Amino acid sequence: QATRDYELIAATHGRGLYLASGGVYVDCNYIGFERGTFDQPYRTITAAINASDQFRTIWIRPCNYNEQITSNKRVEFRTLGGTVHIGSP
């Protein structure tokens, strides 16, 4: 179980244990209140970038994100498995 609402803990069958914390989450299929957390992600990558005020990891769930990404902020993009398409379809 995560220690805070913005931490993700994953365990593998091969005894691997990983903790991802301090990131912002994005899921274009999410419907609901957006906070950028694992349970309440932003719907757009742009919203995640705008919410980041320092170097942050942006965790992106598989989806087709029909948006152009430009930013002068330091962010790192990571996927939560699957294929992520960014830009025009």
Q: What is the pLDDT of residues 22-48, one digit of tens each?
A: 688 999 999 999 999 889 999 999 999
Strand-pair partners of 57: 76
Angle at Cα 68 formed by Cα 66 and Cα 73, nearest 5°?
Answer: 130
pTM over 0.95: no
47 by DSSP, 3-state: which?
Answer: helix
Question: Poorest-confidence range of 7-11, 63-67, 84-88?
Answer: 7-11
